[in-house]
Amino acid sequence: MMEGGLALAIETSTPLGSVALGRDGRLLGEVVIGERTHHSETLLPAIQFLLDAAGESTAALRAIVVGAGPGSFTGVRIAAATAKGLAHALSIPLHAFSSLAAAAASAAQHDRPVCALFDARRDEVYAACYRFLDLLGIEIMIEPAARRLDDLLHAALPLGPLFSGEGALRHEAAIRAAGGTLAPPHLGVPRAAALLWLHDLNGDVGRVDVATWEPEYLRPPSAQRRAS
């Protein structure tokens, strides 16, 4: 369990973003950024509101935790740039965890595997499967990647997982037809509070170099794919 003072988490890989504040394993607050807002415009005000509500300031921060993607290219880029900027300006550590792991952690059920899916378009999903070992550790059972749904189901169903995330909701009929079980929609959101939990469990693993770290896009943005 990590103990490092006040930590700020940022997660904007999907349309419903969030920021969270925690200290030594205790959640102090979380602000959700709505789907119909622009993360580029609302992220910094949400962070300031959260700090003010907790009676804290950026000077008190001791770590930044960010959702590393995959997901919306724009959302992932905004979170990464904001997190890197804050960590650099404050000279504090930056920790990055897969946004798929954050979505899976929100639906964690002791040792049952959780497969988190985000919509990757082109009939694909960004997906990864995790087991949370009595909620005290993390095992990656299927690494994050962009996959066709059929390929993911073939690999994941023998694990007996719970499927979560907006990609699972989009493909609910196919997953249920194959014998899969879905988590309730509210448990499939990659929350900033879940990033804080992942940091508390495994912060040393998630620490990255502020100068060189890049998010996990998993594939180029659509504009770049069209140009290639």
pLDDT in tens, 113-135: 999 999 998 789 999 999 998 87
Q: Does pLDDT of 227 surpass 70? A: no
Average pLDDT rounded to a whole number, residues 24-32: 94
The yes-or-no verdict on residue 13 having pLDDT over 90 is yes
Q: How far apart (Å, rounded) are the C-alpha atoms in residues 216 and 145?
A: 9
Choosing among 2.40.110.10, 3.10.20.30, 1.20.1290.10, 3.30.420.40, the CATH entry for 109-187 is 3.30.420.40
Tokens of 162: 């719970």
Q: How far apart are CA 84 and CA 63, in angstroms?
A: 11
CATH 3.30.420.40: which residues of the chain? 6-99+189-227, 109-187
Q: What burial class does residue 16 get, using C-beta atoms within 10 Å of its C-beta: 0-12 exposed, 13-18 middle, 19+ buried?
A: middle
How far apart (Å, rounded) are the C-alpha atoms in residues 146 and 152?
Answer: 9
Report, as an integer, the average pLDDT of 98-112.
92
User: pLDDT-based confidence at 205, cuts 50/70/90?
Assistant: confident
pLDDT-based confidence at residue 202 (cuts at 50, 70, 90)? confident
Residue 1 scores a pLDDT above 50: no
User: What band does 81 get if pLDDT is binned at 50, 70 and 90?
Assistant: very high
Tell me whether the omega of the peptide bond preceding residue 70 falls within 30 degrees of 0, making it cis: yes
More confident residue, 161 or 34: 161
pLDDT of 35 reads: 66
Q: Taking 60 as the threshold, does the pLDDT of residue 168 lie above it? A: yes
What's the pLDDT at 37?
63
Determine whether domain 6-99+189-227 maps to CATH 1.10.3720.10: no
Whole-number pLDDT of residue 41: 84
